[in-house]
Chains A and B, each alone.
Chain A
Amino acid sequence: MNAVATSTKEAALAHRVLETVREQGTLPVSTAAAEATLESLPYPTSRQERWKYTRVAHLLGLEGETATDTTAPEPVLPSLDAHRLTFVGGRFAAGEIVDEGPEGCFIGPITAALERYPERVEALMAKGFGKQEWYAALQAAAPQDGGCILVPSGGRLDRPVLFHHHMPNGALAAQPLHLIDVAERGHAEAILWYDAAENATGLMNGALNVCVGDHAQLSLEIVQDEKGASSHIGHLHFTQGHHSDLTVRTATACAHWLRNDLHIVQDGEHAASTFHGCYLPNGQQFVDHHTRIDHAYPDGRSDELYKGLAADRATAVFNGKIMVHKDAQRIEAYQSNANLLLGEQASMFSKPELEIYADDVRCSHGCTTGQFDAEALFYLRSRGMTETAAHNLLVQAFLAEVLDGFRPEIRDYVHDVYALRLGWN
């Protein structure tokens, strides 16, 4: 559809981003197809359904500097026992590579994985992950280094893996790619951590490609804790084999401008997917969670829960789509989105969609936007709590349903960030 010629502004942005990113080093992979796609796609505008509520015009002015300060940041979650890899502005900065040989597990940067196991990594990268978006194509046209996890058949990681990507100060552009492949009957736990320095104003346009094999399990926790005024676009793609089990939890702790595109494809029968998320924009922040699950085979299950709150003048967007393909019978898919609006000028845009082409399914979605329950507030206040304290307690209770699913270290960390930002006690 409307494949208009990219105007000079968009072309200039693409040029600047690609230039800067390539200067810092990109993965040695073929990008010709992505570049062609990029040229053929229109720049997102609010006239496109998927970008109806998401303004990306401000990104057109991005300068795209080269990083000057590339020192590795302080480790996050210091108490957590994990395999840690740190990346700064799309480059590998610190961390130990785990390599158990061709038949074993591998944890390390993609550059190292490509050198040691080119066929395994290339096979993974060749898998068709959706690239039909301008920014996704931009990312694919110059992918930078990120973490790679390869778990062989029946393999199991002894500890969780933590990929920490840090955006340094300045108007930098970074396009890291993370890869996770859990082969059949494998098991892995991973944490993706994105943060940014106080004076970061750049663009984090990152991707994550995940394959969960037959009977395999993956639990992934994503934390976005970006101070400063940087923008974040995430392209998160998951493919699941039959009888696989995937859990993705996303906590947007802090983000100035964020768009997450999460797409799960159940590519086999009896797959189960759980994806939960929470967000809490305040000030002038903008947070947008787009999710889509494709039930392409019968007997799949999915459970989606996104909860959030928009305060002050912030805007939150949720768009969830459940797609049940023809002949994908006996699907059970549940989606729930609950929102609290706390600011007089805050906005919430929610679009929970169902698209169903099979008849023997049980699908439902629910969406609410509202305010505090007056009775609950009254109860707390009659027991001596101030209005602020009562509000804070109710917000914590509201978010607990999602936050409690994270491991305790992350739950406490995100809770502390929220507390600091909203002034909880």
Chain B
Amino acid sequence: MKSETNRMSAAEENPLLDEFTRKEYEFGFTTDIEADKVPPGLNEDVIRLISAKKNEPQWMLDWRLEAFRIWLGMEEPDWAHVQYEKPDYQAISYYSAPKSKVPLGSLDEVDPELRATMDKLGISMEEQKRLSGVAVDFVMDSVSVATSFKDKLAELGIIFCSMSEAIQEHPELVRQHLGTVVPVKDNFFSALNSAVFTDGSFCYIPKGTKCPMELSTYFRINEAGTGQFERTLLVAEEGSYVSYLEGCTAPQRDENQLHAAVVELKAMDSAEIKYSTVQNWYPGDAQGKGGVFNFVTKRGICETRAKISWTQVETGSAVTWKYPSCILKGDGSVGEFYSVAVTNNAQQADTGTKMIHLGANTHSTIISKGISAGNSQNSYRGLVQIGPRARNARNFSQCDSLLMTDTSGAHTFPYIETKNPTAKVEHEATTSRIGEDQIFYCLQRGLTEEQAIGLIVNGYAKEVLNKLPMEFAVEARKLLTISLEGSVG
């Protein structure tokens, strides 16, 4: 053991740590494309303009305006364990669309610059199409520019398109489901999103259909000073199945970028939705300058015997405020939440889930793995609520935290509310750091320290990584290793 008085500085002791803390964001680049952009500010006229630009029907505009009026009366929440300078909502431009808009579905006509961006991100659409059978709805800023596999899905009656397209082509479906899981007045950010959302993904799986491929969307914030307000709606009709992948990287920016998305999932009777996210937005520099504010509302509702499974790997963003939730409304429904959240440097994350058990025999599982490095703060905040009618409800929660440095923090704030005597709720949490003995063991067997930490962290997060679809699992492992190599304190 090292003596307290003669302790070396972290950098001397561990050159890898030093190297890591100076590591620049690998995906930090911007694409130089002319954008059609609304001047900053938010008022009813801006909303009318967004709606008009997107050629939306009157009901949509009314819905947005109503949301805006509700938002005006709301206050930005401050209960999360994060500190940041609140964004000036009047300084944000609420609409930005690449001018070189091409007809959807025709990959060859896509702007070469955009194609290059995709290549830098490692998303070669043809590759994806050919090799992995993934349909990609690529979102650059707010408007969908390329969609593939659409025809194949259409044969099965599956609708997978951008939200703006869905509003045009399937208004009845959008109108029926939009805002039913996350109501407009649910919270400050959901109201804001409802008022100004510009695009997102819409997915509808008809009764009894198993979606034959993983659906995915790549989000990317590209235009400086643009908030991105994505709206995703996913409806799985009775007995259907879908696995949806969402992945994010953002280019480096000096000013904070706001991202307030809303994701709504509806799993009808016996349907199953698997929703996986890898989030790697720009986390800001070592001092926490810049970086994305990620204030997301994600929620799913499960009807009888339906299942929703959230899996997330969160490594990016300066501030994260995100609680993918399940409302287990139907009897026998199942909710799952698997999460790995990594924070480094000055990142702050307050993330977790809500499992609301309303129906009888509902089950939920929560596995949350937090990893804190640098000067970051990483909090798990979760709610397990068993309603009075949820007989034989069952929950198991496990929240582990791993601390890499003595300047980072790991916190756990679980809320467990039980109103039915037949329920069984278990929660356990541990906090520890990587054991010196574990590293010693690996070093002794010829691994480098970097490899050892990669191995230990990947082992620690294995329960969650194993839940990811294969394409994502590879990316997620890479991300974890990149984010954490050499960062043991």
Question: CB of B426 within 8 A of chain A?
Answer: yes
Asked if A346 contacts B421 (CB within 8 A), the reply is: yes
Min Cβ gap B132→A in Å is 39
Q: What 0/1 pattern do residues 412 to 452 of B give for CB contact below 8 A with A? A: 11111111111111111111110000000000000000000
B406 CB–A CB distance under 8 Å: yes
| Known contacts A342-B421, A345-B388: A350-B432 contact under CB 8 Å | no
Do A327 and B415 touch (CB < 8 A)? Answer: no
Cβ of A77 under 8 Å from chain B: no
Q: Are A362 and B421 in contact (CB under 8 A)?
A: no
Q: What are the residues of chain A within 8 A of B414 when measuring CB–CB? A: 350-353, 367
CA distance A354 to B424 in the complex (A): 22
Contact (Cβ within 8 A) A371 B416: no
In the complex, the chain A residue whose C-beta lies closest to that of B413 is A353
The CA of A74 and the CA of B383, in the complex, are separated in Å by 46
Q: Which residues of A contact B420 (CB under 8 A)?
A: 341, 344
Contacts A342-B421, A357-B409; is A352 near B427 (CB within 8 Å)? yes
**Does A22 lie at the interface of the complex (its beta carbon under 8 Å from any beta carbon of B)?**
no
Assembled-state Cα–Cα distance A346/B421 (Å): 7
Interface residues of B in 371-430 (CB under 8 A from A): 386, 388, 401, 403-430
Closest to B421 in A: A341
Give every chain A residue within 8 A of B413 (Cβ-Cβ). Answer: 351, 353
Closest Cβ of chain B to A47, distance in Å, is 10
A361's nearest neighbour on chain B, judged by CB, is B431
* Chain B residues in 8 Å Cβ range of A122: none
| B489 close to chain A: CB less than 8 A | yes
Q: Decide: A359 and B433 in contact? CB cutoff 8 A.
A: yes
Q: Which residues of B contact A363 (CB under 8 A)?
A: 430-432
A357 cross-chain contacts in B, Cβ below 8 A:
409
B421 adjacent to A344 (CB under 8 Å): yes
Task: Compute how far the CA of A349 lies from the CA of B416 in the bound complex, rounded to whole angstroms.
Answer: 6
**A354-B412 contact, Cβ under 8 Å, with A49-B79, A347-B417, A367-B426:** yes
Bound state CA distance, A368 and B397, in angstroms? 10
Q: A352-B414, A354-B411 are in contact. Are A347 and B419 (CB under 8 A)?
A: yes
Interchain CB contact (< 8 A) of A354 among B404, B407, B431? B431
Closest to A329 in B: B406
CA A370 – CA B410 in complex, angstroms?
A: 28
Question: Contact size class for B?
Answer: 35 or more
Q: Which of B416, B424, B489 has the most CB of A within 10 A?
A: B416
Within 49-102 of B, Cβ neighbours of A (below 8 Å) are at: 79
Name B429's contact: one of A341, A350, A360, A364 (CB within 8 Å): A364
Contact with A along B445-489 (1 / 0, CB 8 A): 000000000000000000000000000000000000000000001
Measured between alpha carbons, how far is A351 from B416 in the docked complex, in Å? 6
In the complex, the chain A residue whose C-beta lies closest to that of B404 is A359
Closest Cβ–Cβ distance, residue B150 to chain A (whole Å): 47
Chain B contact residues: over half helix, strand or loop, or mixed?
Answer: strand
The docked-state distance in angstroms from the alpha carbon of A339 to that of B414 is 15
A405 to B418, CA, bound (A): 28
Most buried by A among B79, B403, B418: B418
Among the interface residues B403, B417, B426, which one has the most CB atoms of the partner chain A within 10 A? B417
A326 at the interface (CB under 8 A from B): yes
Q: Which residue of B lies closest to A370 (CB)?
A: B424
Q: CB-CB contacts of A33-74 with B at 8 A, as 1s and 0s?
A: 000000000000000010001000000000000000000000
Q: Which chain B residues lie closer than 8 Å to A355 at the CB level? A: 409, 411-412
Measured between beta carbons, the chain A residues less than 8 angstroms from B408 are 359
Is A76 an interface residue, CB under 8 A from the partner? no
For A331-350 the 0/1 string (1 means CB < 8 A from B) is 00000000101111111111
**In the bound complex, do residue A353 and residue B411 qualify as a contact, i.e. CB atoms below 8 Å apart?**
yes
Q: B411, A370: Cβ atoms under 8 Å?
A: no
Given A355-B409, A365-B428, check contact A347 B418 (CB 8 Å). yes
B405 touches A359 (CB 8 A): yes
A101 close to B (CB within 8 Å)? no
A326–B406 touching, CB < 8 Å: yes
Asked if A5 lies at the interface with its beta carbon under 8 angstroms from chain B, I say no
Query: Could you name 16 residue pairs across A and B whose Cβ atoms are closer than 8 Å?
Result: A53-B417, A329-B406, A344-B388, A351-B413, A353-B414, A356-B409, A356-B431, A357-B409, A361-B433, A365-B427, A367-B427, A367-B428, A368-B426, A369-B418, A370-B426, A371-B423
Task: Knowing that A326-B407, A352-B416 touch, tell me 16 more A-B residue pairs with CB under 8 angstroms.
Answer: A326-B406, A344-B388, A347-B418, A347-B419, A350-B415, A350-B417, A351-B416, A356-B403, A356-B411, A357-B409, A359-B404, A363-B430, A363-B431, A365-B429, A367-B425, A369-B418
